[in-house]
């Protein structure tokens, strides 16, 4: 059936009795047909002489400058297909179809926010066939209309992220369509605008007039927010609060939300539908219950009296002034008195306690509950994450039977310890799935709300979070990538979807390694494992790929692509270049390299490029989003709060007008700051040689490197001589003293193992210069220790030691061993692709509802490995497990794992715990998170270490996750050779695969 074309307008038929939000969404759909085909649809409203209820749409009419939801099409346009839409039990237009048995609504009747589509023949006189959209309630109908919008090619982000519609000459629907969309997985789903300065507030101030109290957060803006929420199938909203008052700044705000169909709430620190700033503006005395409740009680009462006509969830209890703790200690009696009084107010205002109520267990508030505060069963417990995406606690035992249920307050943006993260998105979708699936399976299903900062640039995690909340079963650990492709297709079309999704997955993975605001020049090692260069290369490849995709997109799509993908990729790569170049500048200055100065210049160029990316974003589309990229992100100096002005890290310069004391040529080696010829603290005094890390046939990269550089004022020629079995990437060359020229070179060293002598030995690599070596030094050399060893033929598969360590990605286990139980609910492991810090993802214990396990009952991950180094009780090996930064969501079930080497007795570790009582009870302090939390969330990993005696030979490391929530990313066995780095040594070589 033809719905619309370039010459035929879709005909939408609704009933004037329906909810204003439904009629308004129908008007949007009519406009969406126009966005796709060039011809707006028409909206016809069935009229009635005596409407049973007068519905108020005055604010919508005020904003749209219209007094009707009826829409006329172009006079010359032909008629397209008919769409009939309405709310079940609300309008005769729909109820008559049900009574005449032309449509069966039993699958949605009485359900929350469900809807159906069905093609119906002769639904009414004069209509041969129609697509009928029926909602079980008003939001069900709204979602059904916006579902059509998405299907025809209009993204929910068409306004907020400038996604162009996918234009079509004609739009059809199949015959005999019947689609049922059931109740959403989570009852109330939405987001919280927070931390909204400088970016969003700056943007607001230039786009909307300020109200009488200085805020521009008015209905003209919120209409876009409400529409976005509904297009994303959300229904719940916490408004901006830093410098605004939702109900006061614009009296249209609250009724507009209700007319749209949005359920309003207030944040964890704003009880009873009143903004924090309302107390500072209108309140009397301190915000302190035990000394000023006589003023606070009427203040709270007014909040719910004002909210009574509208659909709301009432935030209960109370925190201290300015988003702080109520008191320095946990006074449960006082908070119980507050809630009891609030319940009395609700009873008086509403006549009952049926209005939805929520208590957010945020930060110290969770301790009140854990220390025995009594909470009425009909109050929803909104558990909070740690502000870094790790849920702190979830329902246990009979808590799942509470009538009010439970929910989760989650963050993809935050202001606070250990550091703000507000600039651009740093959240992996895989992490959201892992944590929120855990919450859903643990029955936290009544409210999901996510702190999104300024909305932009968090479009991707917002979409994912709300899609998961709407239908939790639609996304699994293995389909996050499929979701990303589908979402990319919706924004930029199927031709680009695979490439864009690949960029998004790499972008979020790299960004997730550490928040941008916590990256600095000391993070990634410029000495060890080629770590800094490898990370920078990944960023540069990502930026190049993102730029390449941009060149393939139509001009209409480049703005949205820049906002959501290209700018984050380019700006992220540039920031990494800035900090890694700073690290090299500082290292080169220590080593006296002329190139220290060119690295300093590169940092300043990057600093200016960062500014240009900000300008490019803020001036895009004639400045539509001006100020939205104003967030500072360079120059944090050991303090959580944003720097008030961007500043470069410390730079060093060398004097290039003078020759170095040890001549013009300098030689350095991988893993050392030392330079030869010459003296420094990094190699023996007056020594003329440096030592490379050892080489073996099982090296992960198969190569080492040295660098030759100019630290003088003259050109020089250099030459390398070495043993025949040692191969160098370049044996001779010349180097200029000019910093901006090629004043240094890297030489890669490999060994021809077929020609190398067996056993352990040392090869000498000499580096000569055509210039002298200063007044007292001589030709330098590099010592190359080698271990020409081999594993026995009996070792068929596994990891092999190199450089006195073994590094194993969790997903590359040799085998698994089953635990107790059978069937689909038996404990087992799943791979979380792309999750965390390693290329291969991570391994998680499933199912979420599994009981506590022991090494006897848990499944095992087994890793075969071979070592050449002997360790002993006096010089043991160190075994480090890198695990996700998850927290103990069950107080009496701390996250634990066990491990063993070969057939040794398993060692058990409860690695997230303040105080453990015989490994049975984790007791979290009243206000603070577990010891080591700041490091764990910064690194996005817990690291848990233990010592072990491992003789040389073949071994098996066995790992047992003993609680759901344990996610293993990597294991490193340090036999004495692990050197400092952020990510740890790269994965060791695996043979037999």
Q: What is the pLDDT of residues 842-855, one digit of tens each?
A: 999 999 999 999 99
d(CA 646, CA 843): 39
Q: Is the pLDDT of residue 925 over 60?
A: no
Residue 427's Cβ-side half-sphere holds a number of Cα atoms within 13 Å equal to 32
Give CA–CA dist 430/468, Å, rounded. 12
Candidate from 24-38, 231-245, 727-741 with smallest mean pLDDT = 727-741
Taking only the tens place, the pLDDT of each residue in 554-593 is 999 999 999 999 999 999 999 999 999 999 999 999 999 9
Q: In DSSP terms, which residues pair with 706 in a beta bridge?
A: 669, 747
Residue 51 pLDDT level (bands cut at 50, 70, 90): low
Is-contact 260 21, C-beta < 8 A? yes
Please report which helix (H) or strand (E) contains residue 623, including its range: helix 620-623
Residues 303-313: pLDDT tens digits? 999 999 999 99
The model's confidence at residue 326, banded by pLDDT at 50, 70 and 90, is confident
Give residue-wise pLDDT tens across range 96-122: 999 999 999 999 999 999 999 999 999
- Per-residue pLDDT tens over the stretch 725-780: 999 999 999 999 987 767 999 999 999 999 999 999 999 999 999 999 999 999 99
Q: Measure the N-to-C terminal CA separation of the chain; round to a whole number of Å.
A: 54
Give me the pLDDT at residue 208, please: 98
Half-sphere exposure of 75 (CA within 13 A, CB side): 0
DSSP state of 695: B
Structure tokens at 309: 């006509």
Q: Which residues contact 765 (CB under 8 A, 6 or more apart)?
A: 706, 720, 721, 722, 726, 728, 749, 781, 782, 783, 784
Question: Which residue has tokens 């129609």?
Answer: 130
Confidence class for position 686, pLDDT limits 50, 70, 90 = confident
Tens digit of each residue's pLDDT (9 = 90 or more) over 783-840 = 999 999 999 999 999 999 999 999 999 999 999 999 988 787 899 999 999 999 999 9
Helix axis angle, 289-307 to 332-350, nearest 10°: 30
- Let me know: does 398 contact 436? Beta carbons within 8 Å: no
pLDDT at position 344, please? 98
pLDDT at 922 over 60: no
Question: In the prediction, which pLDDT does 929 show?
Answer: 86
Which residue intervals of 155-288 are DSSP H helices?
199-207, 219-231, 246-249, 253-260, 276-282
Instruction: Write out the two tokens for 953.
Output: 């030979």
- What pLDDT, in 10s, does the model give residues 601-643? 999 999 999 999 999 999 999 999 999 999 999 999 889 999 9
Mean pLDDT of 261-272: 97
Which residue, among 438, 407, 453, has the nearest Cα to 184 in the 3D structure?
407
pLDDT-derived band at 926 (thresholds 50, 70, 90) equals very low
Distance, CA of 518 to CA of 515 (rounded, Å): 5
| Percentage of the chain exceeding pLDDT 90 | 90
For residue 824, the model assigns a pLDDT of 78
Q: Supply the angle between the helices 138-152 and 20-37 in degrees, to the nearest 10.
A: 0
Question: 324: Cβ–Cβ under 8 A, 6 or more apart, which residues?
Answer: none
Residues 375-407: tens digit of each pLDDT: 999 999 999 999 999 999 999 988 999 999 999
Q: Say how many CA atoms lie within 13 Å of 746 toward its Cβ.
A: 8
Q: Is the pLDDT of residue 914 over 80?
A: no
Q: Is 321 exposed, middle or buried (0-12, 13-18, 19+ CB in 10 A)?
A: middle
- Confidence band of 919 (pLDDT split at 50, 70, 90): very low
What are the DSSP calls for 27-78, one per residue? HHHHHHHHHHHSS--EEEEE--SS-SS----HHHHHHHT-S---B---TTPE
Cis check for the bond before 418: say yes or no (omega within 30 of 0): yes
The residue count of the chain comes to 993
Q: What is the pLDDT of residue 77?
A: 75
Nearest to 422 by CA among 157, 199, 192: 199
pLDDT of residue 203: 98
- Residue 323: DSSP 8-state: T
Which residue, 788, 817, 782, 816, is CA-closest to 802?
788
In this model, does residue 53 exceed pLDDT 80?
A: no
pLDDT tens for residues 510-562? 999 999 999 999 999 999 999 999 999 999 999 999 999 999 999 999 999 99
φ/ψ region of 493 (left if φ > 0, alpha if ψ in -120 to 50, else beta) reads left
Helix, strand or coil, per DSSP, at residue 427:
coil
- 322 pLDDT exceeds 90? no
Q: Residue 694: in which H helix or E strand, if any?
A: none
pLDDT at 924: 39
pLDDT of residue 175: 87
Q: What is the mean pLDDT of the chain?
A: 95
Cα separation, 221 vs 256, whole angstroms: 11
Split at pLDDT 50, 70, 90, the class of 917 is very low
- Spatial separation of the C-alpha atoms in residues 153 and 494, rounded to whole Å: 11
State the Cα–Cα distance between residues 461 and 413, nearest whole angstrom.
10
Global pTM value: 0.96
* Torsion over CA: 683, 684, 689, 694 (sign): negative
């Amino acid at each position: 059936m033809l719905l619309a074309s370039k010459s035929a307008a879709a005909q939408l038929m609704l009933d004037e009795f329906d909810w204003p939000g439904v009629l308004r969404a129908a008007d949007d759909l009519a406009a969406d047909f126009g966005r796709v085909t060039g011809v707006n649809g028409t909206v016809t409203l069935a009229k009635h002489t005596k409407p049973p209820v007068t519905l108020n749409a005055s604010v919508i009419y005020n904003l749209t400058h219209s007094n009707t939801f009826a829409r006329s099409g172009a006079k010359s346009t032909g008629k397209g297909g008919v769409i009939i839409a309405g709310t079940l039990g609300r309008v005769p237009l729909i109820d008559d179809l049900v009574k005449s048995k032309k449509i069966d609504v039993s699958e949605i009747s009485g359900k929350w926010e469900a809807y159906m589509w069905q093609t119906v023949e002769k639904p009414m006189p004069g209509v041969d066939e129609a697509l009928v959209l029926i909602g079980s309630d008003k939001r069900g109908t709204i979602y059904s209309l916006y579902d059509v919008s998405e299907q025809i090619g209009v993204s929910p982000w068409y306004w907020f992220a400038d996604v162009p519609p996918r234009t079509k000459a004609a739009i059809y629907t199949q015959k005999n369509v019947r689609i049922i969309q059931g109740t959403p997985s989570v009852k109330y789903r939405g987001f919280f605008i927070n931390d909204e300065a400088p970016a969003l507030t700056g943007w607001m101030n230039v786009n909307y007039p300020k109200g009488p109290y200085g805020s521009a957060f008015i209905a003209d803006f919120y209409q876009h927010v409400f529409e976005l929420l509904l297009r994303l199938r959300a229904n719940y909203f916490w408004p901006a609060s830093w410098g605004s008052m939702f109900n006061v700044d614009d009296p249209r705000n609250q009724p507009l939300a209700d007319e749209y169909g949005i359920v309003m709430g207030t944040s964890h620190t704003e009880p009873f539908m009143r903004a924090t700033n309302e107390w500072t503006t209108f309140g009397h005395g301190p915000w302190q219950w035990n000394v000023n409740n006589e003023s606070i009680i009427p203040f709270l009462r007014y909040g719910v009296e004002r909210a009574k006509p509208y659909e709301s969830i009432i935030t209960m209890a109370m925190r201290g002034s300015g988003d702080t703790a109520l008191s320095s200690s946990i006074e449960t009696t006082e908070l119980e008195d507050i809630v009891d009084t609030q319940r009395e107010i609700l009873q008086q205002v509403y006549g009952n306690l049926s209005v939805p109520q929520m208590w957010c267990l945020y930060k110290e508030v969770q301790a009140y509950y854990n220390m025995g505060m009594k909470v009425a069963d009909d109050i929803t417990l909104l558990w909070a994450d740690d502000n870094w995406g790790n849920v702190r606690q979830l329902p246990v035992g009979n808590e799942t039977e509470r009538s009010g249920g439970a929910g989760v307050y989650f963050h993809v943006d935050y202001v606070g310890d250990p550091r703000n993260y507000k600039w651009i998105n740093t959240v992996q979708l895989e992490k959201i799935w892992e944590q929120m699936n855990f919450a859903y399976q643990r029955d936290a299903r009544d409210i999901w709300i996510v702190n999104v900062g300024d909305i932009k640039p968090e479009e991707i995690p917002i979409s994912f979070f709300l899609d998961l909340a709407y239908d939790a079963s639609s996304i699994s650990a293995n389909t996050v990538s499929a979701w990303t492709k589908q979402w990319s297709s919706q924004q930029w079309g199927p031709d680009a979807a695979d490439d864009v999704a690949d960029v998004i997955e790499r972008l979020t993975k790299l960004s997730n390694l550490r928040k941008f605001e916590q990256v600095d020049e000391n993070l990634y090692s410029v000495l060890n494992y080629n770590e800094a260069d490898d990370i920078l290369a990944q960023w540069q490849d990502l930026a190049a790929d993102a730029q390449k995709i941009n060149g393939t997109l139509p001009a209409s799509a480049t703005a949205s692509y820049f906002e959501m993908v290209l700018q984050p990729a380019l700006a992220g790569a540039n920031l990494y270049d800035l900090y890694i170049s700073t690290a090299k500048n500082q290292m080169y200055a220590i080593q006296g390299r002329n190139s220290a100065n060119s690295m300093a210049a590169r940092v300043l160029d990057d600093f200016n490029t960062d500014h240009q990316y900000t300008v490019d974003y803020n001036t895009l589309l004639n400045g539509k989003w001006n100020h939205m990229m104003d967030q500072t992100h360079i120059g944090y100096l050991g303090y959580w709060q944003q720097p008030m002005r961007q500043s470069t890290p410390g730079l060093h310069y060398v004097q290039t007008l003078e020759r170095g004391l040890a001549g013009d040529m300098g030689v350095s080696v991988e893993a050392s700051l030392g330079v030869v010829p010459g003296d420094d603290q990094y190699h023996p005094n007056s020594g003329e040689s440096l030592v490379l890390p050892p080489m073996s046939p099982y090296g992960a990269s198969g190569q080492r490197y040295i660098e030759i550089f100019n630290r003088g004022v003259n050109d020089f020629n250099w030459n390398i001589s070495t043993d025949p079995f040692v191969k160098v990437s370049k044996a001779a060359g010349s180097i200029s003293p000019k910093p901006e020229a090629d004043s240094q070179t890297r030489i890669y060293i490999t060994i021809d193992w077929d020609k190398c002598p067996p056993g352990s030995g040392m090869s000498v690599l000499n580096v000569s210069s055509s210039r002298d070596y200063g007044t007292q030094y001589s030709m330098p050399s590099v010592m190359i220790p080698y271990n020409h060893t081999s594993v026995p033929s009996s070792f068929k598969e596994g990891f092999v030691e190199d450089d006195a360590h073994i590094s194993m990605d969790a997903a590359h286990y040799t085998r698994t061993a089953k635990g107790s139980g059978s069937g689909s609910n038996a404990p087992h492991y799943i791979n979380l692709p792309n999750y965390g810090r390693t290329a291969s993802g991570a391994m998680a214990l499933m199912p979420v509802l599994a009981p506590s396990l022991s090494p006897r009952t848990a499944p095992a991950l087994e890793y075969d490995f071979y070592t050449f180094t002997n360790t002993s009780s006096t010089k043991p090996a160190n075994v480090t497990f890198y695990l996700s930064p998850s927290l103990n969501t069950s107080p009496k079930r701390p996250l634990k794992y066990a491990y063993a080497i070969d057939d040794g007795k398993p060692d058990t570790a409860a690695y997230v715990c303040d105080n453990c009582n015989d490994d049975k009870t984790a007791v979290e302090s009243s206000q603070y998170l577990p010891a080591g939390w700041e490091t764990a969330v910064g690194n996005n990993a817990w690291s848990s270490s233990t010592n072990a005696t491992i003789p040389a030979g073949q071994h098996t490391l066995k790992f047992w996750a003993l609680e759901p929530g344990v996610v293993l990313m990597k294991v490193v066995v340090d036999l004495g050779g692990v050197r400092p780095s952020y990510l740890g040594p790269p994965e060791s070589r695996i043979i037999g695969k």
